Structure 1
Amino acid sequence: MMDTSERIKALLSRRVLENITLLKMLEAYGAAMNCRLLEHDEQWSMLLRLPTSDCPYDAKTYPDASHIVFLAGTDADLLDQLVGELSLNQPLVFKVQRAEYEALLRNRLTLERKRAFHTYSIGKGDLVKLPSRDVAEERRLNAALLPLWMANGYAREELEVMFVGGARSYTLYEQGSPVSTCLAFPNYGKVWEIGAVHTLASHRGRGLAAQVVGAAAASLIERGLVPRYHVEAGNAASIALAEKLGFTHEVELVHLHYAGNGEGTPTDSRGASTC
């Protein structure tokens, strides 16, 4: 019999790109999560809570929040029941991937929108072909590329782990030196992330980033994988790059901060499965 965490993953995987953040967080931090699942006939809803301190990014970005909360489901009443179960005496951050979820939360709580991220993807035959450049694909970590990736906030140890896990780099070199690069690395299942895009300031405005990202996407598609390009909502240059290459917008993930003033009335979530 499938346990609750596997059942949750199976339900979320029906819309992998829409729920990619939840799936990845379950994979990385599932042991620390409180997971609640309600099912009735063919309808289902779930709520996942992760202590903020367990995720380095969230601990740094939202130090006041006690938990990061994710939700998903097909039934608004079941979702509302699960939200009503939450303790509301401490700050929380909700990460929601559908406008309906945000509306449901705002019906109960006063929330502040902190930031949003867009997920783009692309399939076979949709990638725009750019004028050919000699983009180098490398399967081992090249120390010459570390300064470019680290300028984007990556730590060497983090990059080393990525390459152990199968990451590949895509780089344009001029006169033997790297001028533009990106990484492709596993996210969840067949979904691979394209990230760490960086072009030297002296070489920007020449379309080099599009070249390396396009090469990464083409390689992933050829290998039967699903490219994911993740960008913060205010990053106009990265959004333009995705659109230039023919990527399709899949989902917006919105971070909503709740101040923890005890709004709402917790309810008993009868019949919920917990992992």
Structure 2
Amino acid sequence: MLSAQTDPDQILTTLRRRPLANVVLLKFLTSRPEGVRVHQLVSGDRVATLLLIDHAFSEYDLATYPDAHASAIIASDEPEMTRSLLPFVPRDRVLVFKLCSGDDRAIVGEAFPMERRTSFISYTSTDFSLTGETARIGTVTAEAPFHLFAAQGHRAAWLQPLMERGEAFTSTAEVDGECLSGCFAFKIDGDIWEIGGVYTLPEARGRGLARGVVQAALAELKRRGLVARYQVEDTNLPSIRLAEALGMTRFLTLTHYISATVAGR
């Protein structure tokens, strides 16, 4: 028998039982709670969760899907529970569904016309040792290469407060005092931290600098006893090769589908 979980704290507690599998849900629930609505169904130890994200609170979605009003992320333990979530999905607006299984795609597709747009692959590594040259780990905002991260669309106004709270650090490769490559890691929830913003100046590419800064960030997370998440778009072959070269493990693929309104169907 399905029961609806309505207490926000209990919803988070349930999701945190499987933090990597639910990392995307946890990321939005903890970072932009004012922009989301959540519905969770429970049956014994099985769980299905729907997160509706208003694109006014998601810069990426607002820029990438300008015709869509919201995103619907589903994480479900079985197809029939996914089906039970669909009455909570609005049918009078353009949506982006973000789904992590073919079963969910099939169930949602019965009620909503969907067109695939892209996929994001998440990797992790909890057993990592640093060898060879190391990049520099930074925790001081005055030394952070915000100009590099801006090239990837990450604003200093977002990253700087995280660093000041001890919830982010940078990893950089420098030559003669010039930062040529960098990335950062930031807290998502609990022990889960995400590595992002990997960027190398065009004139410094092909020298393994990106691998070095990501490698150092992974080692720093391991030193702190934290769990890494590294996310790449499925078309970004260099980043996929980097993750595989570092021995990272793929644990989640989240596929985006655009859906038109279905009012009256």
Quote how far apart the aligned CAs of 1:215 are: 0.7
Aligned mates of 2:37, 2:146 — CA distance in 1: 37
Quote how far apart the aligned CAs of 1:217 are: 0.2
The DSSP-based 3-state class of the residue aligned with 1:237 is helix
CA 176–66 in structure 1, closer or farther in 2 if over 3 Å, else same: closer
Greater shift after overlay, 153-162 or 198-207?
A: 153-162
Alignment of 1:56-205 (within 5 A): 56-124=59-127, 127=128, 129-130=130-131, 132-143=132-143, 145-166=145-166, 167-205=168-206
The structure 2 residue matched to 1:50, chosen from 53, 59, 62, is 53
Please give the per-residue CA displacement for 1:170-229, whole angstroms capped at 9, x wherever unaligned.
111111211111111111211111111111211211111111110110110111000111
The DSSP-based 3-state class of the residue aligned with 1:252 is strand
Amino acid at match of 2:84: Q
Aligned mates of 1:48, 1:155 — CA distance in 2: 25
Quote how far apart the aligned CAs of 1:41 are: 3.8
Give the root-mean-square deviation of aligned CA atoms.
2.0
Quote how far apart the aligned CAs of 1:146 are: 2.4
Amino acid at match of 2:87: G
Greater shift after overlay, 252-261 or 28-37?
A: 28-37
Quote how far apart the aligned CAs of 1:239 are: 0.6
Q: Is the 8 Å Cα contact of residues 114 and 257 (structure 1) preserved in structure 2? A: yes
The TM-score with structure 2 as length reference comes to 0.90
Quote how far apart the aligned CAs of 1:54 are: 2.6
Q: Is the 8 Å Cα contact of residues 71 and 98 (structure 2) preserved in structure 1? A: yes
Give ranges in structure 1 of 5+ residues lacking alignment: 265-275
Alignment identity in percent?
32
Aligned mates of 1:112, 1:77 — CA distance in 2: 22
The residue that corresponds to 1:30 in the other structure is: 33
Amino acid at match of 2:148: L
Q: Is the 8 Å Cα contact of residues 144 and 178 (structure 1) preserved in structure 2? A: no
Greater shift after overlay, 146-155 or 36-45?
A: 36-45
Quote how far apart the aligned CAs of 1:49 are: 1.6
Quote how far apart the aligned CAs of 1:134 are: 4.1
The residue that corresponds to 1:18 in the other structure is: 21
The DSSP-based 3-state class of the residue aligned with 1:157 is helix
The DSSP-based 3-state class of the residue aligned with 1:88 is coil
Q: Is the 8 Å Cα contact of residues 39 and 88 (structure 2) preserved in structure 1? A: no
Please give the per-residue CA displacement for 1:214-265, whole angstroms capped at 9, x wherever unaligned.
011011011100011111110000110111111111101111110113364x
Aligned mates of 2:205, 2:220 — CA distance in 1: 24
